[in-house]
Amino acid sequence: MLLSYFVVARSSGNIIRITRRTSPPADTATLLNVKASTASLHCYQALYAKGQDLISLDSVS
């Protein structure tokens, strides 16, 4: 089953992209991966549709 993950910049907390994987991707020194719930994805999509380019992880949690 594919699950959605937010790929987040550690320095800013901003979501860089969404990825779908069967298992969590590996975190790196600059990026972390956070499982994205359906509600969080809907919130992200609503903010993006309103023209926000930099969406923080805090704003969708």
Spatial strand order in the sheet of 31-35: 15-21, 3-9, 31-35
- Could you list the pLDDT tens digit for every one of the 61 residues in the chain? 899 999 999 999 999 999 999 998 999 999 999 999 999 999 999 999 999 989 999 999 8
pLDDT of residue 61: 87
pLDDT at 25: 92
CA within 13 Å, CB half, 10: 6
Spell out the residues 6+ positions from residue 18 whose beta carbon is closer than 8 angstroms to its own.
Answer: 4, 5, 6, 7, 36, 41, 44
What was the pLDDT predicted at 17? 95
pTM, full prediction: 0.91
